[in-house]
Amino acid sequence: MGRIPLRISGTVTRPTKLDLGDYLPYLANRVGNIIADHFGAHALAPHGLSIAMWRVMAVLAANGSQRQIDLADLTSIDSSTLSRMVTRLVRMRLVTRTRSAKSNREVAVELSPKGKALVAELIPIARDYEAIAIAGLSREELDVLKRCLRQIYANMKTRVAPDSL
């Protein structure tokens, strides 16, 4: 993994600045957060939902009934946090939590009718925010952008979990 120090007049020098405006992880994080913050403040907060809760509901809407551990994996939320979050969502009558049929230690989390209705209401708004975000980008640029992001995620994912090594 060759970081090559530049050698100037016999002395090894390393750059001591990182131009954050050109640093990909920073750019990606910033973009992901600013969109989420706007959507959260305008669309989610009125319903008492956090961004994390929204992600859970979106995953449930897209993939159907899930075990908590799968939800945790798909949303990158710690399973203990998720457990308490599902409790809250159940209290809000947005999801149901039932013991799985085939395995008594598993739990099946599912959108309730009320949850489905709310997701259906929020999805177009989420799309609106995406549209605002990508304004001015061409179809081709957008394709490249998404493909690259998927590729990068795959690159990091195969690089094993962040805690191993």
Partner DNA sequence: TTGCATCAGTTGTAAATGCAATAATTAGGT
Partner DNA sequence: ACCTAATTATTGCATTTACAACTGATGCAA
86 binds DNA (CB under 7 A): yes
How far apart are CB 162 and DNA at their closest, in Å?
9
Start-to-end C-alpha separation, the chain: 15
How far apart are CB 61 and a second copy at their closest, in Å?
6
Q: Which residues pair with 13 in a beta bridge?
A: 6
C-alpha 82/C-alpha 90 separation (Å) is: 12
Interface with DNA (CB under 7 A), residue from 79, 145, 150, 156: 79
Which x/- pattern over 17-46 shows residues binding a second copy (rule: CB under 8 A)?
Answer: xxxxxxxxxxxxxxxxxxxxxxxxxx----
Nearer to DNA, 59 or 68 (CB): 68
CB-based contacts of 100-104 (< 8 A; 24+ apart in sequence):
100/67
Which x/- pattern over 89-128 shows residues binding a second copy (rule: CB under 8 A)?
Answer: ---------------------------x--xx--xxxxxx
Q: Which residues pair with 6 in a beta bridge?
A: 13
Question: DSSP 3-state assignment of 6?
Answer: strand
Which x/- pattern over 94-113 shows residues binding DNA (rule: CB under 7 A)?
Answer: ---x--x--xxxxx------
How far apart are CB 22 and a second copy at their closest, in Å?
7
Interface with DNA (CB under 7 A), residue from 35, 36, 58, 67: 67
The tokens 């209401």 sit on which residue? 121
What are the φ/ψ torsions at residue 159 (nearest 5 degrees)?
Answer: -70, 30
C-alpha 28/C-alpha 24 separation (Å) is: 6
